[in-house]
Amino acid sequence: MKQSAVRQFLARGACALSALFCAAAANAAYPDQPIRIIVPYPAGGSTDLTARLLGQKVGEQLGQTVIVENRPGAGSNIGTNYVAKSKPDGYTLILATSTALAVNPSLYSNLPFDPQKDLTPIIMTSTMPNVVVVGNGSKAHTLKELNAMLKGPGGPFSYASAGNGTPSHLGGELYKRALGAPLVHVPYKGGAPALTDLVGGQTTFMIAVMPEAMPLVKDGKLRALAVTTRNRLPAYPDLPTVAEAAIPGYELVAWYGILAPAGTPPAIVSTLNKAFDKALKEPDVAHKMQDMGFDITGGAPEVLSQRMKTETPVWKDVIEKAGIKMD
């Protein structure tokens, strides 16, 4: 081998080794600047409060400030797209929901990101159960009675939702399809006004998130018929699941996770996963999240990754058969 060729070979080898050492040093030093958690919803909601709660604990563990930044809009697509296009260095994260990660890819025809290709799962933080509720003046006292009413005379019967494309809408469509009844969808601008009209008898039923619905149930304004989880909830052991009460296989659970841009180094993903998992196990964090209605998950990144892969085709099928489109 000629001397010039040898020199070029050695130079390339030195550059490669230098790059490896630099990458290792960068990962070893992580984090050496503040970390941002993007929340794709307005401040003050349960997702925002969760991000701030976890951010404080993770910041204490890693010795860095964790900043929560709200970037709401377009059904959470604005904030999610921002993170998907960010530098994969572990300093820009997102607390996303199942809406962004499994529903929106089928709901929006021109989505500027692909959750499974453009984001790296860090950890699945929690799930949020839903409950089937009717007004306290409803003739239905059980889910079987509600289903018999929905399939009988006297319609059209309706179900309320927090808006087009929301989990309560898609859950209603899934329910409608399983039941085979011609139900009318009535969308509202949020869960609160939808439940207010349900209390007033303007709609027949709603599949609502537990934290919004259960205070009205406790006040005697609504009647809870069943939960949408796979198993009964320890906090409400007398409430059957939809699957056991009337519709086998039915399940509707919103879920939440921390993700980073695709290409984030595995060492940083591991560091973040351990920090968030430890934060979720802190007693005060668990207590506050449970008070908000969350069931804590945690675990390896693969738990979130698998949930994304499993549920995306489920909601694609529901959306396509119902003909739902947001653009």
Nearest alpha carbon to residue 171 among 323, 315, 325, 294? 315
- The span from the CA of 203 to the CA of 288, in Å, is 32
Residue pair 194/208 in contact (Cβ under 8 Å)? The answer is: yes
Residue 55 CB coordination number (10 Å)? 23
| Cα 260 to the center of its chain, rounded Å | 15
Alpha helices in the chain (DSSP H): 3-29, 46-62, 77-84, 98, 104-107, 115-118, 143-151, 167-179, 191-199, 210-218, 242-245, 266-280, 283-291, 301-322
Q: What is the reported pTM?
A: 0.82
How far apart, in Å, do the first and last CA atoms of the chain sit? Answer: 62
Tens place of pLDDT for every residue, the chain, 327 residues? Answer: 455 554 554 445 544 444 444 444 444 589 999 999 999 988 888 899 999 999 999 999 999 999 999 999 888 999 999 999 999 999 999 999 999 999 999 999 899 999 999 999 999 999 999 999 999 999 999 999 999 999 999 888 999 998 888 889 999 999 999 999 999 999 998 889 999 999 999 999 999 999 889 999 999 999 999 999 999 988 899 999 999 999 999 999 999 999 999 999 999 999 999 999 999 999 999 999 988 889 999 999 999 999 999 999 999 998 998 888 887
- The span from the CA of 294 to the CA of 256, in Å, is 10
Task: List CB contacts of 324: < 8 A, sequence separation 6 or more.
Answer: 107, 164, 165, 169, 170, 173
